[in-house]
Amino acid sequence: DLRRDLAIQDIRATIVDVPTVRRHKLAQTSVTAQSYVIVQLRLANGVVGIGEAATLGGPRWSEESVEAIKANIDAYLAPALIGQHADQPVTLGARMDAAAKRNNAAKGAIESAAFDALGLTLGVPVATLLGGRVRTSFPVLWTLASGDPAQEIEEAEGKLAARLHDTFKVKIGAQAPEQDMARMRRLATALEGRARLIVDANQAWDETVALRCLPRLAEMDVHLVEQPLPAWNLQGLARVRARTTAPILADECVFTPADMMAVAQAGAADAVSLKLVKHGGPIGLQKVAAVAEAAGIALYGGCLLESSVGAAAHLHAFAGLRELAWGCEHFGPQILVEDLVHAPLRFADFHVHLPEGSGLGITLDPDALRRFARC
């Protein structure tokens, strides 16, 4: 019977390292390969759901590394779920929270895999299980992060010409603020009238630097300034926000719904970047989105350079958000030398498209998984 079929039999976590097409430099680290934990969750009926936990340069973007994610899945999260049923995602989440504090990327990958397995079994897309979809394509930006403005302008021109991306997020904070301002001015001048720009400082600045630089970024028509201050400094962010017209995008300061409420109460942001690795899966993402909506804070579809596995899970979660004012940034599949799935996500006309079919609508390529797996 269906109930017995939905019992979780096995959860396998595989670390993979996939080279990127170029070096990706952000404030705290620089990577030439993306590391993920791929979760394969098998039900008694033989169906295997997949999920992905992305990291960026070890435990530097957040506290989770692929090594820690795999260790905590194997030792704590998987044992708490074996024998439980895939049609009870809230119970699965409660059991994971009882088994391990935080570990949101690990939990997010497992929850996505459980939804995929449930959707594949029932013959419905994950978006349907999450409440349905109000959109099937998403405006998608590209991130410029080599640090070399000449290379970045050339890269942006290529994306514009191919009609892949017309909004660019520039990673700042790795170099001195004055250098970044000069770099931004070159980019803004070269792309003026043809592309929108946002910046992400990944917590690199303090309040003084932010107060000096944000008005200049606003004057360059930079549309969003992401996480200019350290995640802990909500009061500082609120003061900076009150003194500039550049809208603030909250990223590392919002993992939980309570974090989102604190940002709202402090008046620290105009928009929030939603990510499965931060919110512990699609259910947590919906909760954070609800708090943001209640506070009048706009939604932005964030990423951590996921492959098509993790990106598809995000698109299913984003598909049902009534307003996604700032679109999304799931360019990840395009920055990898090779994707991990048979039919990668489709990018066209400045949009990324929700895959069709049951579950997440993507299938893992076992050869690619084997090739990039860390032994």
Enumerate the active-site residues: 171, 329
Using N-to-C axis directions, what is the helix angle for 282-294 and 257-266, rounded to 10°?
A: 20
Residue 308 interacting entry, from Mg ion, ligand MUC, none, C-beta within 5 to 8 Å by type: none
Helix, strand or coil, per DSSP, at residue 96: helix
Nearer to ligand MUC, 26 or 39 (CB): 26
Nearer to Mg ion, 125 or 280 (CB): 280
Residue 66 contacts ligand MUC per CB under 6 A: no
Q: Using alpha carbons only, what angle is made at residue 56 by residues 50 and 57, rounded to the nearest 5 degrees?
A: 125
For residues 83 and 87, give the distance between their C-alpha atoms in angstroms, rounded to a whole number. 12
Helices (H), the chain: 2-5, 66-72, 78-81, 89-99, 104-122, 126-129, 149-161, 177-191, 207-219, 234-242, 257-266, 276-279, 282-294, 308-318, 332-335, 366-372
Q: Using alpha carbons only, what angle is made at residue 20 by residues 17 and 26, rounded to the nearest 5 degrees?
A: 100
Residue 85 contacts ligand MUC per CB under 6 A: no
We find the least distance from the C-beta atom of residue 331 to ligand MUC, in angstroms, to be 8
Instruction: Among 55, 65, 121, 143, indicate the residue that binds ligand MUC (CB under 6 A).
Output: 143
We find the least distance from the C-beta atom of residue 18 to ligand MUC, in angstroms, to be 15
We find the least distance from the C-beta atom of residue 278 to ligand MUC, in angstroms, to be 10
Residue 116 contacts ligand MUC per CB under 6 A: no
Residue 254-293 contact track with ligand MUC, rule CB under 6 A, x = bound: ----------------------------------------
Tell me the backbone φ, ψ of residue 10, rounded to 5 degrees: -155, 140
We find the least distance from the C-beta atom of residue 7 to ligand MUC, in angstroms, to be 36
Residue 80 contacts ligand MUC per CB under 6 A: no
Residue nearest to ligand MUC (CB): 143
Beta-bridge mates of residue 371:
none
- The amino acid at 116: D
Instruction: Among 304, 324, 336, 362, indicate the residue that binds ligand MUC (CB under 6 A).
Output: 304
Instruction: Among 52, 152, 166, 251, indicate the residue that binds ligand MUC (CB under 6 A).
Output: 251
- The amino acid at 46: G
We find the least distance from the C-beta atom of residue 266 to ligand MUC, in angstroms, to be 20
CB atoms < 10 A from the CB of 89, how many? 19
Helix, strand or coil, per DSSP, at residue 145: coil
Instruction: Among 200, 270, 339, 365, indicate the residue that binds ligand MUC (CB under 6 A).
Output: 200
Instruction: Among 200, 306, 339, 365, indicate the residue that binds Mg ion (CB under 5 A).
Output: 200
| Residues whose CB falls within 8 Å of the CB of residue 30, separated by 6 or more in sequence, listed in order | 23, 24, 57, 174
Which among 208-216, 277-285, 296-304, 340-348 is the span making contact with ligand MUC, rule CB under 6 A? 296-304
For residues 90 and 81, give the distance between their C-alpha atoms in angstroms, rounded to a whole number. 12
Residue 202 contacts ligand MUC per CB under 6 A: yes
| Footprint of Mg ion (CB under 5 A) | 200, 226, 251
